[in-house]
Structures are given as C-alpha cells and as structure tokens.
A and B are shown apart, each in its own frame.
Chain A
Amino acid sequence: MSYLGQQLVNGLTLGGVYALIALGYSLVYGVLQILNFAHGDVYMIGAFLGYFVELALGGPTKSIVPVPIMLFLMFAISMIGTGLLGIVIERFAYRPLRGSSRIAPLISALGVSILLQNAAQLIFSANIRSYDTSSFIPSTAGFSIGDVTIDSVRITILILAFGLMFALSRWINKTQVGRAMRAIAIDRDAAVMMGIDIDKVIRWTFFVGAALAAAAGVMNGLLLRGVSSGMGFVPGLKGFTAAVIGGIGSIPGAMAGGLLLGVVESLTQGYLSTNFSDFYTFILLIAVMLLRPNGLFGKKAIVKA
C-alpha cells in the first residue's frame, strides 16, 4: 500500500510538470491551430535560466539569500525571461507565416527547435549542469501521511504546479485577455470583427505558454537536477502527448492529460518495467486515439481542411 501511495505521489509530481508543458501546447493550439514543436526547447531554456539564477545567487551551497527567496527568484526570473523568448519566437518564426499553408509553421517550429537546442549547446556547452537540489533542500525534509513520505522538493513542486494551473484557469476565465483568447479559439474571424486585438492576444498566449514551460523546466531541474541542451525533447514529447490525450486546445484537458500521463508512467515504472515505460505511454496514446479521437475533453471537431 505504501509503495502504491509513493508511486502515486511521484506520478502526480511528474504529472504536474507534464501538465504545465501540455498547457503551453494547448493554449497555442487553441488560438493559432499550430503545433509549437519548439515548446520542449523553450522548456529547456527555462531550466537553464533557473540554473543561472541559482548560480548568480551564489550557487546551491553558498546562497546569498534564504532558500525560499532563492526558489522564488529562480521561478520568477526564469518564467519572465522565457516568456519573453516565447514572444520573440512568435514574432519572428510564426507571425510571418500566418495565413500560409498548414505545414509551414510546423516546419518553422522544427527549425526553431533545432536552432534553440544547438544555440544552447554552443553557448552553454554540451556538459550536463546540475541544480544540486539536495545541497539546499535536504532530501530528508518533508512529512509523511501513513507510510507515504513526501519530501519537500515534491511538496514545493506539487503546490506550485497546482497553484499555477489554478491561476491560469482564473486568468482565462476572468480577465479580458483570457476572454479574448477563448473567443479567438471559438471563431477567429468573428473575434477579429468584434474588435479583439489578435496580435496582443497571441503575444499573451505565447508569453504564458512559455512561462509555464519555464516553470516546468525549473521544477524538473529541482527534481532530477540535470540540465542539458538536449533535455527538452522527451518532456516536450510527453507534454505534447498529454495535450493530445486531454484533447488538444482544451485547458482542463491538458491538465488532466498531464496528470494522467504522469501517474500512468510512474505506475508502469513501479510495477511493470522501467525500461519500457514509454512503450506503455504509447499504448495509452493509441488507446485514447482509437476510443476518443478528440481526446478526453476535446470537443468533436468539425473536419474541414
């Protein structure tokens, strides 16, 4: 029982990270109907920014500020910086392609992905950097429910991930930009005719999506420590899968898909096989595609194009 509980906690932590990445895919898809293949690499840049903030504050062992403030700064600076990068990517790689063929933005995104990955490798070198979390957050700290112990890194991540998701839903449902975003997702032309500034909404979408990915990147750095230029591919793929499982373009779908994916992955790793976990995730994806082609929360798409 305790083993199951432990695996569930691990799964939810992992799922929170996936959900944040998946949200970025879904937000962009909802507004622009394009798949932002470069999202995984945006996540990587976020993780690197968090690492450099940590380094600038004196490193993991000799931090010049208390640990909570350091964590706050790591998340905040990385999210804002990466969010701005998201806006820049949209401006130069996607906006010129608006209204062109469907495949062009995908290829452009592939190009951005290669560019980011190799630029990071060139500038930061191919070495794997480490957040070295255990030096400033002892791995023994935490609390237990029954036999299940939740260490403080996981608690931080869980609280933050769910907090960000909650904030995002409030933002989308309550603010004017969020409303405009939903309107564009339903009918872009009508939204433009109603006087919605589509460029502004798209900028916001990319900013928020990239910032969430950056948060996920920093979380991953805290959890698994290693940061390298190639780290974005697999989480990007998983986030993408989570978004598709939940129903691409749907916000609650992305959250549910991410959490489901994390839990499934953690359980298969715990009970079946560590080496073949991706294989089981793939089977989950195929099953969802066959049974509910529009994802768990997706609306029935009207196929035209």
Chain B
Amino acid sequence: MSEQENLGIGTDEWVAQHEKRLARRAGLLGVLDLLNQKVSPTIRYAILGIAAIAFGLFVHDFYLQRIAANLGVFLILTLGLNVVMGFAGLLDLGFVAFFGFGAYAYALTSSAQLNQHWPTYLSVPAIVIVTAFLGYLVSLPSRRLFGDYLAIVTLFFGQVFIQLIISSDSITFPGREESTDITGGSNGIPGLDPFVFFGYKFKGAGDYYWLLLVILVLLIIAIIRVDRTRVGRAWKTVREDSLASQAMGIKVNNLKMLAFIVGAAIAGLAGTIFAGIQNSVFINGFDMPLLTLIYAAVILGGSGSIPGSILGAFVMSVLPEILRVQNYSEMLFLSVLILTIAALGKSWKKFAFNISLVLLVGLFIKVLTSALNIATTPAATWAIAPVSKVLQHWLFIPQNRLLWGNVAFVLLISLIAYYSIAKEKIKLYLLPLIAYVAIFVWEDRLVIEPNTTRQLIIGMLLVVLMIVRPQGFLGKTRVEVL
C-alpha cells in the first residue's frame, strides 16, 4: 500500500486505515465521498488557481470583488493561524490583535492622522517586521508555559489591545499642554492612502485582489515547503508530545516562539492589506467575533491541514454573505438540513422515511391549525423569497412570530441535545420532528437576524464538530497520549 509509506508524524497505520474504513459510506454521503477521493491534491490546487484567475479576469462586479478581496485577507489569516495552532499546537487567542495592529500601523503611516505618508514598499515590510517583534514580546512571558497559560495571556493581550486603541485618542505627553489624538478612538481612522507599487496606485478591491492572489500563492507554497523542513517536522512533534521532543533534543521553547512570531507576522501582513482595501480602520473589526470565525475556519477544515484551512476559510467567509440574502440563505439552510438527514439516516430507505415524515408533520399541523382557525401571520409579510413562497403552502406561522419563534428555538436546542443521547429507535422519529422545528424556527426568527444566526451556527458547529469529528473535514485523525 502506497499510503503506508508516507504516513506523517502523529499518525499510525491503524489510524490511517481508520479513515479509509470510515470512507466507505452508504447513501448520499457515500457518493460525495467517492467524488472527493478521485481528485488529487495538485489538480485541486490547479483548479482553484484557474478559478481564481478567471474570477479576477471576468468578474467586474464591485460587490463580488469586495467579497473576494475580503476572502483573500481571511485566507491569509486562516493560513497564519494554521501555522500557530495547526502546526505548533499553540492556542493563540490574541491572533486578531496582531491583525489589528498591522491595520492600525498601516493607517498611522499612511494617513493624515499623524501626517505620515510612507511609501507602500517601505511601510508594509516594516509593519510586518514590527508585528513579528510584537509577537516575540508577547510570547516572552509565556515561553515556558504551555497551552492554557498561553491562552489567557494572549486573550488578555487582545483585550488590552482593544482598550489601548479606544483610549489612545487623547494622550497627554509629558511637556505638552494639549492631548494628542493617535488612534481616533472608537471613531477609527478614515481616508487612508491606497497601496502604491512602482507608481501604480491601487484603485479598488479588484487591484487588491491580484495582490492578494500573488501573496496567497507565495504563502501557500512557503507553508507547504516549511511543513517539510526540519522546523515543520519539529513543530509537529512539539504539538504531539513536547516532553518527548524535548528529550529528543528539540528546542521546544524556541520553536514555539518561532511559530508564534510567524503567525503574528502573517496576521500583520493581512492587517495592512485589509486596511488598504477598507480605506479606513475601526476597532470593531478586531475582536472576538472575528477570532472565533478564524478559529472556526481552521478547525472546520482540519487543524494542521493546508487544504483544510482553505476550505474552512471559504465556508466561513462566504457563508455570512450568503446568509445575508434571504433566498440564498433559505436554499442553503434547506440543503444542509436535507444533507444532515441523509448523513444521519445512513441509508436511502431511512432518508425517504424521514423526509416524508417531515412533510407529513408539517402538512398535518397546517391543516389542523387552519381547521381550528388559529390566527397566522399573513404569508405576504414573511414569504418574500421564492423558497419561502413555496414553503408558505406547507408551513404554519403563528401570529406572534417573535414569541413562538423564541419558544421553538429553545425547544429546538433541547431536542438536539436530547437527540445526542436518545436511543436509536427514538432517534428515528425524533429527527423529522427536529427538522420540522428547525424549519419553523428558521422562518420565524433566524431569517430575520442573519448575524446572530451565523454566530449560532458557528457555535453549534464547533461543539458538534468536536464531538463527531474533532480532526475537522480534511484533518488527519491523531492519537494523543495524555
């Protein structure tokens, strides 16, 4: 078997085959799995690259270009965190602070705020170096400490960063009367200079897109290369067992610090570009929600896996955009729901049974409520998008949407929790019920508040993923010795 020869560090034969055993699945998911296995990594990267170039050449829609540029920045961040957490296994919860630092540093060196207008080829490399140095400083007190302590120091660092930025709008320097506004406080810094390379002034997200593409290609190649060097291998051994690797003569502390610094530098680079695209910086963008989004992306794709990070970044960055449009979000929701039922049912027969039960339950409730003359919310107010226009003939929406939606939401969470411990026999009937309540809650509450919904989905995803598939979609199963 050729797979056995290139087993990586941290995997053993049984585990590697375990993945394969899992792969042979029946039903709808089995088909998808088979499709996935037929394509080799090189071809995948090539397809991705061609798609990216084609997008840059043919798409001129401003909104789409903006989304693509944001995705690019997010990809850099995800790849950077993948080095820190995926390769070296460090729980760096101050990662976004470095991103924010890079953005603010660019803003301060390229705006009227401090009246500094540095050339891009000077400011960006300088900022990356300074951010790396900041990473070094933060890693100093935590260098001898493992996991949990690093987490608290970095988490607090992120909090301090936010407070410093917000409060640095009126600093009184010794020897001067009036206070100086450095960061603009919560108002942020508007009106930044765009990037200028060799006399070419960047005009919009489309220009940054090409820059990001070049950086991403270089970054991905660099990370893949580093992964195969002594340092890359050493990072993984430290991640798996730092005591054993220390015994092998690996300088654990230095390697941890190196990973931390590399991560900080990459985040700083992403920050400068982000500031360039945005034309302005605000502190709002650099706090917990973004951090959880990046973590979710790395973990979803598979911590330590580069294709995994890319996949995770796509999902986490495109998902919110889709959720913003009601029609797309409904379609996405329904397809995910159907896929979940398929995955849990494991066979076509059960799948058909579950789906028809959902339809019957809905129809029954609809007929019952209209026979009893229970007041509904007029369909015209909620069935706006094509999908919900179809749903309105089947779904019962009571008059007080807000209240019943909230009640159903609590019910939904409880049902899902109960499902995880229920017996197989009950599960079969519970699943259609959950699906119905989910659709009900979606149309009642979730579709109205896309931001909260997105966060809820991410939270749920993280918990479920950790229980069902802790290695993420494309990650490798690891055996951890505790």
List the interface of chain A (C-beta within 8 A of B).
Answer: 29, 35, 88, 91-93, 96-97, 99-108, 110-119, 121-123, 233-234, 237, 240-241, 244, 248, 273, 275-276, 278-279, 281-282, 285-286, 289-290, 293, 303-305
Q: Are A114 and B160 interface neighbours, CB within 8 A? A: no
Closest residue of B by beta carbon distance from A244? B152
Contact A35 B151 (CB under 8 A): yes
Q: Are B163 and A114 in contact (CB under 8 A)?
A: no
Q: Is the CB of A234 within 8 A of B459?
A: no
B residues at A contact (CB < 8 Å): 85, 89, 91, 141-142, 144-149, 151-153, 155-157, 159-160, 163-164, 166-167, 241-243, 288, 292, 295, 299, 303, 406, 409-410, 413, 417, 420-421, 445-446, 449, 452, 455-456, 458-463, 465-467, 470, 478, 480, 482
Instruction: State how many angstroms separate the Cβ of A187 from the closest Cβ of chain B.
Output: 14
10 pairs of residues in contact across A and B, judged by CB atoms under 8 Å? A91-B417, A92-B417, A92-B420, A102-B480, A107-B465, A111-B460, A118-B452, A278-B163, A281-B156, A293-B149
Give complex CA distance A118, B406 in Å. Answer: 12
B153 touches A285 (CB 8 A): yes
| Closest Cβ–Cβ distance, residue B363 to chain A (whole Å) | 28
Of listed A106, A111, A121, residue having the most chain B CB within 10 A: A111
**Which chain B residues border A285 with CB–CB below 8 Å?**
152-153, 156
Instruction: Say whether B243 contacts A289, CB under 8 Å.
Output: no
User: Are B417 and A111 touching (Cβ within 8 A)?
Assistant: no
Shortest C-beta distance, A302 to chain B (Å), equals 11
B247 to chain A minimum Cβ distance, whole angstroms, is 12
Contact B144 A293 (CB under 8 A): yes
Which of B243, B409, B456 touches A305 (beta carbons < 8 Å)? B243
In the complex, which residue of chain B has the Cβ closest to the Cβ of A243?
B152
Task: With a 10 A CB-CB cut-off, give which of B142, B456, B459, B460 has the most chain A CB atoms.
Answer: B459
A254 to chain B, nearest CB (A): 14
A248 with B456, Cβ < 8 A, contacts A96-B420, A97-B466 known: no
Chain B interface, DSSP helix/strand/loop, else mixed: helix
Using A97-B466, A116-B459 as known contacts, list a sample of 5 further A-B pairs with CB atoms less than 8 Å apart, ordered by residue number in A: A108-B463, A115-B456, A115-B460, A122-B449, A289-B153
Known: A104-B466, A237-B156. A289 touches B149 (CB 8 A): yes
Q: Is the interface of A mostly helix, strand, loop or mixed?
A: helix
Alpha-carbon distance A305/B148, docked complex (angstroms): 12
Residue of chain A at shortest CB distance from B287: A233
In the assembled complex, the CB of B265 is this many whole angstroms from the nearest CB of chain A, namely: 22
CB-defined contacts of A114 to chain B, threshold 8 Å: 292, 455-456, 458-459, 462
Q: Nearest residue in B to A274 (C-beta to C-beta)?
A: B167
Across the interface, which residues of B come within 8 angstroms of A305, CB to CB? 146, 241-243, 482
**Contact between A278 and B159, CB atoms less than 8 A apart:** yes
The answer to whether residues A122 and B452 also contact, given A112-B459, A113-B459, A114-B292 and a CB cut-off of 8 A, is yes
Asked if A123 and B406 sit within 8 Å, CB to CB, the answer is yes
A102-B482 in contact (CB<8A): yes
Closest B residue to A233 by beta carbon equals B288
Q: Which residue of B lies closest to A236 (CB)?
A: B155
Q: Does the CB pair A101–B417 fall under 8 Å?
A: no
Q: How far is the CA of A88 from the CA of B463 in the complex (A)?
A: 13
The listed residue with most A CB atoms (<10 A of its CB), out of B157, B460, B463, is B463
